[in-house]
Structure 1
């Protein structure tokens, strides 16, 4: 499709937007382009034996006119003004409401998932559509509006995970209806219910707490913030009520969430992405419009934010304020180094799913930053040759992974870290199956040592430490150890001339260095040798937080095979290294590209 060959004035707004996205005139993500391409492909095959649907522009225009003649904003900078639909909204609504069966006029789509970032008027749209479902939704053969029929006793459900959230869309619809003469004359709007004055029916909130959820026959169900639903119960129960009406529709709206492993919304999202990519059969009655950052996009680059925030395509007061707010929240989240704030920003503002439901110590953005700070091992050893170092020990069980870690203070406030693992060779095969990592390959590559027998031979740890001192000319400042299982071994080290320091494992001791290490990563003030064992342990670590906001590292469960020993050893060393010459002021040592993400 060539831009010069298109008569743009002849295109319906839904089709025009789809063409602009596919041709790259408007910025978009892969999923939005595929949704738009689907619309254009369907236009080429409409009214055929294998695709008995047509795009009825009149049915789409009817929804547009409903909003622009009857519906007013209920909050924000445009509060009280009639809604003027943006181009992306005309695509979304036109796609869902414009496609109908070529003979009966029944709506094609039974389900639609709309996934985009916070602040992009999802709730406002759904409030207006809920009122449309009560007042103006109808059915007629394509091109014959004079034959339109309305549902008797329409039922519209505004569903959410709890009562408060369910009442949000319902409450906005109530206020929108009260502020519109055209709507308020059609509906009887009371504090607790909304019904049609002549055709009956009910517009109501619905949540898990609502009794008799399965007793209705809905014309329209709005599922709000589906990412927050722990199960698909509301969706399943509501969908089971379809079939009693001619063209029931479920509109699912959400942002991404933080429980990517268990969320029913994420499972729905995964399926629909595969569908749009052609990896599973197309579900002709399921519409998916997903706006998000593409894999590999830099979430810190404001130019990418429009992909998940289609409002930013426009140049109006609301878009300008939204962009400022996204930037402010970005700076606060990443400036704080708080993983909860970072996850919140990534899910709500750029629509990226997070796998951090178990309170991971290092968020996705932290792990990406950590990996970017690696240098080749040979370069690392040259960098730290001749330096003094703090060594940390985490000996754990003698049948499991154990570790020695090193922390070096570099000029200009930077730190270098490395660690080495030890595993009993007779247990390596068993642990490769349980831990699902290649210990034997790691040994061949020099990242860990498999000691003979059933238990870790601590003499190999001592030999390794002495070898590194000798070959790399390191000066061992202190050996910092977790007292668990380490007393005898560290006494032997002391006899060899090492100065040992016991590191108590409570939050009072470990909280500040644990937070400090994470801040160093985020600020770009860490350098490491890319050890896959250390990176694996770091990605496994979960943080335990007490009532005072102090943290320490932990595994998800005490018998979990997702081990953290190497990062635990480094944190033990960091307890002493960070105060070796006084606590470092991170903000005073940010230089040049070190602050880039």
Structure 2
């Protein structure tokens, strides 16, 4: 596409914006360029075999006209004025609503994932979209607006992590509807409900506290600030209601958040980035637009701020004020040197994911850990016939119990693996409280669900013996946390195993805990990719004394974010890292009386 050959006035705004991004006429990040390139590529293959979709400009224009003729600002200096869409909004809205099936006219996209920084009119868009879902959404064959089909009883959900946030989105939509003569005559807007005057239905707030979340058949679901959701429950329940309408749509809109192993938004973000880069199959029904500053970008350089804040692309009164505010927050954060303020600026204003704000043991290096995984079969082949140290963390008999193994390899690397055990009667409860799939992990071989209400330690013994028999492992020592383990390890000792009590003070655990992290940083550790072990590792918080000795802990004593498997590995690492120097270390361990 040559710039000199284009009459830009004849190009639809959605297509024009995509071309300007791909040609470098507008600054952008990689993910935005990929989204725009996808749109241009799809234009070339529309209405072809295997891709039965077309870009219907009339459908894109319809959503533009809805905003610019019916919707008024409810916040800020433009409050009360009709909304004027800026170019990036015309691309996003035009693409989501303009792509339709060639024959039926139904929308192509069933899901849309939008990420951009704070201040980029997400709330305004959500309110206008919610009202469009109630009043204007319809189906018609491409180019035939005279054949519009509306659905009776439209259902629109404004979903958020809690009732207050969900209600805020709903209240903004209510105020926007009340302030518009075109919209207010179509809807009955009351203090507690919004419905269509002729077709019924509802526009309602939805959160984890809402009863009967799964009773609807939504036309449109708006998921607000998905980064704040601890689970994917709202997304999953809402999406399960699709299929009952002609063209249901879910709009997920968020800024970045904490790069947590348990964040459903971060998992979705990571998955979609892979899809857009071509590392996984493209989902034709999923629209993705991620705007962010990139890892190599300097957040002090104002010229790159536009990557996460596309509204800065076009100079106007609002963008000028936003830039001033961003500059003030930048200066305040970096001049203060406060890590929490810097993290807040990078997350909310730069739209860059940040490590969990807690003092996480593996903060910022979980990706390095994951990259060191090999397949389970390859791992077993690698360590077959080797000496290993076993570590046990038995904890409460009704909770997760961990058995870990540490190997020293001839090339200087260490290999680690761990297995979990949980009683049948508490597994379901812990799946809900811990928000992880223990039963699925058990099916996949990463843990064992034992019968009854408490962990049957015979299963742990059987697992250790099976590894010796099937994989030819030689168990050098059983290294155990003395809590709740004396009787069981005595049984193991009676069967010929050598057991070593590992005191749980920092004087014992600090050196192996630091050593383990160094191995990860240097790429000198290998593991079998256990999702249960990775989850435990991501949960571990670093506890430090006045002498910079450290050990691992959960965030809170009763926290459901468990660390048992990595705790078991650390017990084994105490002995594995010193090899044959067992007598001196044993004396050190037994004299360790440090406590907090």
Common fold by TM > 0.5 = yes
1:150 partner SS = coil
**Does 1:353 pair with 2:362?**
no
In the aligned structure 2, how far is the partner of 1:299 from the partner of 1:160? 29
* Structure 1 position 70, deviation (Å): 0.8
Q: Name 2:145's counterpart in structure 1.
A: 145
Aligned Cα root-mean-square deviation (Å): 3.6
Q: Quick check: 1:358–1:556 contact (8 Å CA) kept in 2?
A: no
**Match for residue 472 of structure 2?**
none
Of 553, 558, 561, the match for 1:557: 553
User: Would you identify which runs of 4 or more consecutive aligned residues in structure 1 move more than 6 Å?
Assistant: 426-431, 483-486, 531-536, 543-546, 550-553, 560-563
**Residue 327 (structure 1) aligns with:** 327
Scaled by the length of structure 1, the TM-score of the pair is 0.64
Looking at structure 2, the residues matched to 278 and 175 of structure 1 have their Cα atoms a distance apart, in angstroms, of 42
**What are the Cα deviations for residues 483-504 of structure 1, in whole angstroms up to 9, with x where unaligned?**
9869xxxxxxxxxxxxxxxxxx
Displacement of 1:326: 1.3
TM-score, length basis structure 2: 0.64
For residues 318 and 341 of structure 1, do their structure 2 counterparts lie closer, same or farther at Cα, with a shift above 3 Å needed? same
SS of match in other structure, 2:58: helix
Q: Are the structure 2 counterparts of residues 555 and 227 from structure 1 closer, same or farther at C-alpha, using a change threshold of 3 Å?
A: farther
Of 217-226 and 314-323, deviating more is: 314-323
Q: What residue in structure 1 maps to residue 445 of structure 2?
A: none
Counterpart residue number, 2:86 = 86
Change in CA separation of 1:62 and 1:216 when aligned onto 2, cut-off 3 Å:
same
Name the SS of the counterpart of 1:119 in structure 2.
Answer: coil
| Contact 1:77/1:317 (8 A) holds in 2 | no
The alpha carbon displacement at 1:543 in A equals 6.6
Using the TM superposition, give the Cα deviation of residue 40 of structure 1 relative to its aligned residue in structure 2, in angstroms.
0.5
1:333 and 1:188 map into 2 onto residues whose CA distance is 46
**Shift in Å, 1:295:** 2.8
- Structure 1 Cα separation of the partners of residues 548 and 199 of structure 2: 61
- Which runs of 5 or more residues in structure 1 are unaligned? 366-399, 401-425, 437-453, 455-482, 487-504, 506-530, 566-597
CA shift in 2, pair 1:76/1:359, >3 Å? farther
Q: Is the alpha carbon distance of 1:561 and 1:293 closer, same or farther for their aligned partners in structure 2, counting shifts above 3 Å?
A: farther
Measured in 1, the distance between the counterparts of 2:61 and 2:54 equals 15
Give the direction of change, closer, same or farther, for the CA distance of 1:146–1:427 in structure 2 (3 Å limit): closer
Task: Please tell me whether Structure 1 or Structure 2 has the larger radius of gyration of its CA atoms.
Answer: 1
- Structure-1 residue corresponding to 2:45: 45
Structure 2 counterpart of 1:520: none
SS of 2:39's equivalent in the other structure is helix
For the Cα contact (< 8 Å) 1:259–1:354, is it kept in 2? Answer: yes
Q: 1:193 and 1:217 mapped to 2: Cα distance?
A: 17
Cα distance 1:176–1:229, how it changes in 2: closer, same or farther (>3 A)?
Answer: same
How many Å separate the matches in 2 of 1:80 and 1:193?
22
Alpha-carbon contact 1:158-1:205 (below 8 Å) kept: yes
Q: In the alignment, is the contact (CA less than 8 A) between 1:106 and 1:139 conserved in 2?
A: yes
Q: Deviations over 1:358-377 (max 9, x none)?
A: 33499769xxxxxxxxxxxx
**Do the aligned residues in 1 keep the contact of 2:507 with 2:549 (CA within 8 Å)?**
no
SS in 1 for 2:258: coil
Shift of 1:300: 1.9
Q: Which residue does the alignment assign to 2:25?
A: 25
**Structure 2 match to 1:281:** 281
Where 2:134 maps in the other structure, the secondary structure is helix
1:443 is aligned to none
Per the alignment, do residues 8 and 250 of structure 1 end up closer, same or farther by CA in structure 2, a change over 3 Å counting? same
Matched, 1:432 2:414: yes
2:237 match: 237
The aligned counterpart of 2:96 is 96
Q: Return the alpha-carbon distance in structure 2 between the equivalents of residues 318 and 545 of structure 1.
A: 46
Show the counterpart of 2:446: none
Q: Is the contact between residue 230 and residue 264 of structure 2 (CA under 8 Å) also seen in structure 1?
A: yes
Deviations 1:31-57 (A, max 9, x none): 000000011011101111211111110
Pair 1:125–1:484, CA change in 2 (3 A)? closer
Query: Distance in 1 between the 2:178 and 2:168 partners?
Result: 15
Deviation track 1:294-313 (CA, whole Å, cap 9, x = no partner) reads 23111221111100000110
Corresponding residue pairs, total: 419
Matches within 5 A, 1:332-411: 332-360=332-360
* Distance in 2, Cα, partners of 1:545 & 1:336: 24
- 1:496 alignment counterpart: none
Could you say which residue in structure 2 is the equivalent of 1:207?
207
8 Å Cα contact 1:544-1:551 kept in structure 2: no
Distance across 1 between alignment mates of 2:324 and 2:287:
31
Please show how residues 454-469 of structure 1 align to structure 2 within 5 Å: none
Is the Cα–Cα contact under 8 Å of residues 116 and 254 in structure 1 kept in the other structure? yes
Shift in Å, 1:196: 0.6
Q: What secondary structure, in the 3-state scheme, does the structure 2 residue paired with 1:256 have?
A: coil
1:350 & 1:485 partners in 2: Cα distance? 41
Distance 1:278 1:535, change over 3 A: closer
- 3-state SS of 1:96 partner: helix
Q: After superposition, give the CA deviation of every residue in 1:229-253 in whole Å (9 maximum; x if it has no partner).
A: 1111111110010011000000000
SS in 1 for 2:354: coil
